[in-house]
Amino acid sequence: MFLLFTFYFYFLMRSIQDAFPLLQSPKKIFITTHHKPDGDAIGSMLGLYYYLVKKGHAVTPVSPCELPEFLMWIPGVDQLLNWEAQPKRGQQALAEADLIFCVDFNDFNRTKFIEGALNAATQPKIMIDHHLMPKPVWDYGMSIPEKSSTCEMVYDFINLCNDNALIDTQIAECLYTGVLTDTGSFRFPVTSASVHAMVADLKHKGLEHAAIHEHIYDSWSEGRMRFLGYVLTEKMEVFHDQGAALIALSRKDMGMYDTQSGDTEGLVNYPLSIAGIKFATLITERNDEVKLSFRSKGSFDVSAFARQYFEGGGHFNASGGRSKASLRETITYFKKILSEIRPANEEDHTNN
């Protein structure tokens, strides 16, 4: 089934090299990424932005919504158009574009507010992404789930264009951000030798990695740190028999410590540091839906889990989904499913 889907997809989407002729002369380019963008989404979009500008194109990078605080330092942040805040300007940039680049997502619905406009757009669409099971809606692109991050793929794309020499410190900082965050600081199994080779190259281009770590990981408010303490002490449930853990947060919980959008980022990973825990879930109550984040270690496929039960998807070891039911009903439903599976007992899966 997976193979069939892959063939179907590759028949419809042409390789990114086939799009090179479109980039031979200066173009107006619209780049976007997924809703609630993370380090890889923004890093890959702005790294690509700076590269395409250097090649003489007029580029508008568009985020579906505001950025989390921990990314507000990244080069190019002042160039970003926020579609949610300025939908008319977004629509106009899209209407004027000759080409559309989409990075770090594989289904237009991951852009939330931009989905309808992307569906209606008739310009050539190019994707660069590493999520499993892409929708066949792009004309050209690279879709490689084995890649650590979309930032690594933007680096590959620039090299494919024979433009390694154009990578400067700004581009290096953007690309490093996504590789760093998507590999869990170079610890997940997707951290291949080519990731480290890329980082070595970025260092030669002037990258100061320690400053980026500090921006991303040492910029918490006191409230966020205390909120983490509260969550781990009061809100984390551990199911040792299943090798699983759950953190469920209501809107009230999130209001307790003066937390901001983005402060739940990374919470889902903490339970995986408990010996024997292979599957961690974070459920958060949002205004219009309940959001679920899944992480696993080893052979439990959380992408399939998210697709099967929570209208979601993502990667083998990191995925997400949603529920239209209430928070309480979602927790009950989740626990019922959990009682029927054994995530910790799946055979160990070797990864690259």
> Could you give the CA distance from residue 271 to residue 140 in angstroms, rounded to a whole number?
39
Cα 12 to Cα 139: distance, rounded to the nearest angstrom: 7
3-state secondary structure of 323: strand
Task: Yes or no: say if 142 and 128 are a contact pair by the CB < 8 Å rule.
Answer: yes
Least distance from ligand 5GP to the Cβ atom of residue 243, Å: 19
Q: How far is the CB of 189 from ligand 5GP (least distance, A)?
A: 15
CB of 280 to ligand 5GP, least distance (A): 10
Nearer to ligand 5GP by C-beta: 182 or 253? 182
Q: Do residues 283 and 337 make contact, with C-beta atoms less than 8 angstroms apart?
A: no
Of 88-96, 114-122, 186-194, 316-324, which part binds ligand 5GP (CB under 6 A)? Answer: 316-324
With binding defined as CB under 5 A, does residue 182 bind Mn ion?
A: yes
Choosing from 69, 98, 107, 201, the residue that interacts with ligand 5GP (CB under 6 A) is 107
Contact 276, 344 (CB under 8 A): yes
Find which of ligand 5GP, Mn ion, none residue 115 binds, CB within 5 to 8 Å per kind.
Answer: none
Find the binder of ligand 5GP among 39, 243, 321, 343 (CB under 6 A): 321
Closest contact distance (angstroms) between CB of 289 and ligand 5GP is: 9
DSSP string, 90-159: HHHHHHH-SEEEEES-SSGGGGGGGHHHHHH--S-EEEEE--SS--S--SEEEE-TTSS-HHHHHHHHHH
- Token digits for 248? 């469920």
Q: Is 319 in the site for ligand 5GP (CB under 6 A)?
A: yes
In the region spanning residues 269 to 298, those forming contacts with ligand 5GP, defined by CB under 6 A, are 293
Q: Which of 177, 257, 315, 330 binds ligand 5GP (CB under 6 A)?
A: 315
> Are the CB atoms for 147 and 128 separated by under 8 Å?
no
Q: What is the three-class DSSP state of 61?
A: strand
> By CB under 5 A, what part of segment 21-40 binds Mn ion?
40
- Number of chain residues interacting with ligand 5GP (CB under 6 A): 14
Site residues for ligand 5GP, 11-40, by CB under 6 A, read 34
For ligand 5GP, the closer of residues 286 and 328 by Cβ is 286
What's the half-sphere exposure (Cβ side, CA atoms, 13 Å) at 128?
Answer: 27
Task: Give contact residues for ligand 5GP (rule: CB under 6 A).
Answer: 34, 107, 110, 131, 293, 312-315, 318-322
